Amino acid sequence: MSYMQLTYLHLGTLAPAFALGTYLLINRKGTPLHRLLGKLYMGLMLFTATATLFMEAQVGPLFLNHFGYLHLLSLLVLRTVPLAYIAAKRGNIKVHKHHMIGMYIGALLLAGSFTLMPGRLMHTWFFG
């Protein structure tokens, strides 16, 4: 897959994940709908984090001639989603909540902010 194809795939899973994550954070927890949408959200986050691992960093230093600092957030997602899921299944809602809020802030808000910095593709798309 080309870099642009991976970018579109990433954005195609990231946009609904952001919308679902926002919905899940502001609405009632523990309902059957929350559980269903939460599983979909987790699946989208896992998929988008995996897709980013195939995207070579375009800005900043490279590690292993491929990975950049934002890839660390992808690894965070790949670790956090299973931990959050297991915590919820075990009834440890405090840990589940902590993981999910942390992932939303780190992987969606923080990483999203970094992608809008000058020199990055999203900055070029949005601001020319």
- Is the pLDDT assigned to residue 60 strictly greater than 90? no
Question: Mean pLDDT, to the nearest integer, of 101-110?
Answer: 90
State residue 99's pLDDT score: 97
Total tally of structural domains belonging to the chain? 1
State residue 103's pLDDT score: 93
- SS3 of 73-98: the string is HHHHHHHHHHHHHHHHHCCCHHHHHH
Contact present, 52 and 70 (Cβ < 8 Å): yes
For residue 58, the enclosing domain spans 3-127
For the chain, percent of residues with pLDDT exceeding 70: 100
Rg (C-alpha) for the chain, rounded Å, is: 15
| Distances from the Cα of 16 to the Cα of 12, 42, 59, 95, angstroms | 7, 11, 25, 24
Assign 110 a pLDDT band (cuts: 50, 70, 90).
confident
State residue 113's pLDDT score: 83
HSE value, Cβ hemisphere, 13 Å, CA-based, for 5: 3
Q: Which of 6-10, 59-63, 78-82 has the lowest mean pLDDT?
A: 59-63
How far is residue 113's CA from residue 97's CA, in Å, rounded to a whole number?
A: 22
- Is the pLDDT assigned to residue 112 strictly greater than 90? no
